Structure 1
């Protein structure tokens, strides 16, 4: 009897040990929505352009909110407000007036019509004169060119591909992980400016981008070239479309590639909607 009870206790103990060794499944839970960041503390190496790029804002909006004027000088430890809602978007009267005046049709002026004297008709040879009449030459129509253009004009900017490699990763949306496209390449291959403009940032102060260039094309559009191995231009340089500006590398990345972005009014847009089709 005692032996039977002992066997039962041993069996229960073994069962308890075996079930206790299993790990309960972990249920993944989504993180609560993050609060909107209203301020930014400037770090060493940052510029207003990198800060605006980081938060998807325009330089003008941050400058207006913080009372900064061109060339937008900031310093480490400076606290910048990122609350750019309800900023004044009124157009100055002088600008509005000039645009109104330019839209008016000019006054009509009388233009003298030039006197056209009819040309004398050349005498045609008679049928029995024996003179040979040359037949009219047929005009040959030029065949339409099927060659694809290497530029595409969008937003008053002529865009072209910044590198020759194949497309690795597509744009995943303004709120997605990839705010641009990734283009394959080998170490040292050329990176060219996708459009004419001015270099407004050259450095590695923006986390996740490695050695980075940002070019301003007009008041609406900026483009970025990340993970470079070497930069061939510096801040303030004026560059032409197609000019070599950097060398492909893997700075801040796990492979050789160029990460390319286009921003419109501070927001990331799909570069494939701007670049010419290959």
Structure 2
């Protein structure tokens, strides 16, 4: 009996040693930490299929950060011009894949009336607004018909030289940076309508977005002061802001151009100096 107990104890010890030898090093930190970094949160909010509208958002600012065409987002969510949205409203940013479209039909698109109408603060007319009703099929005239099909000329947004160029990489610079003086004028690079002014987009500081056509948008970031309002039409070369360092450590202008929601190199369109 004593010999059997000793044999059993030896067998259990061998099994225990074998299990411990399976991992030669401590578990990596990545296996232990299950939280999200700031970059993870920022990326997931704008790059998932569903986005919840926050205070200060417009359809244009959401499309800008998500890299989607604002017209595609409007179509997916049955939103008509002037593209009004509400805080708390859930928007589909990307068309669901076939494998999940049937399951997500009741959980995507616009939120219920009881949720979208509960605005915490009095909303700005353009930043929010709109309704949850289904869009009628008949074609209606919209403000987008006022935009030209082609932009005839682009102008430099500032007299200062480029300090950092465009880089078409995952974490590269999505526009042109200009170092300058506090208060230097910032000019509209082409004629169009101001579709966003504010500082709700992280990393851009005080920002102005101008719509030039159904395909082109331009953005002017880190301003000190903004001299235009949303829905205002501006001409090419018009002063729309002054250079500052909002959202930045140094005074500069970050200038971007997007074509159908995608970042493009602004130097391809700007005239040679």
TM-score bin (small chain): 0.5 to 0.7
What is the alpha-carbon distance in structure 2 between the residues aligned to residue 84 and residue 175 of structure 1?
22
Task: Check the 8 A contact 1:157/1:217 in 2, yes or no.
Answer: no
What is the alpha-carbon distance in structure 2 between the residues aligned to residue 27 and residue 270 of structure 1?
39
1:269 aligns with 2:264: yes
Residue of structure 2 aligned with 1:72, choices 83, 88, 101: 83
Greater gyration radius:
1
Corresponding residue for residue 179 of structure 2? 184
- Give the C-alpha shift of residue 184 in structure 1: 1.3
What is the alpha-carbon distance in structure 1 between the residues aligned to residue 184 and residue 151 of structure 2?
29
Unaligned runs of 5+ in 2: 1-27, 31-36, 98-136, 140-148
* Runs of 4+ deviating beyond 6 Å: none
TM-score (norm 1): 0.62
Report the secondary structure of 2:153's partner residue.
Answer: strand
What is the alpha-carbon distance in structure 1 between the residues aligned to residue 169 and residue 78 of structure 2?
28
Structure number with higher helix proportion: 2
1:1-278 map, 5 Å: 37-84=48-95, 156-173=151-168, 175-278=170-273
Task: Check the 8 A contact 1:160/1:275 in 2, yes or no.
Answer: yes
Report the secondary structure of 1:212's partner residue.
Answer: strand
What is the alpha-carbon distance in structure 1 between the residues aligned to residue 238 and residue 65 of structure 2?
26
Corresponding residue for residue 34 of structure 2? none
Q: 1:206 to 1:157 in 2, by over 3 A?
A: farther
Report the secondary structure of 1:277's partner residue.
Answer: coil
What is the alpha-carbon distance in structure 1 between the residues aligned to residue 200 and residue 158 of structure 2?
23
- Give the C-alpha shift of residue 73 in structure 1: 1.2
- Give the C-alpha shift of residue 173 in structure 1: 1.0
What is the alpha-carbon distance in structure 2 between the residues aligned to residue 58 and residue 175 of structure 1?
19
Q: 1:209 to 1:157 in 2, by over 3 A?
A: farther
Unaligned runs of 5+ in 1: 1-25, 87-91, 95-153
What is the alpha-carbon distance in structure 1 between the residues aligned to residue 151 and residue 88 of structure 2?
38
Task: Check the 8 A contact 2:151/2:190 in 1, yes or no.
Answer: no
Task: Check the 8 A contact 1:57/1:266 in 2, yes or no.
Answer: yes
Q: 1:83 to 1:253 in 2, by over 3 A?
A: same
Cα deviation per residue 1:111-161 (whole Å; 9 max; x = unaligned)? xxxxxxxxxxxxxxxxxxxxxxxxxxxxxxxxxxxxxxxxxxx95331010
TM-score (norm 2): 0.63
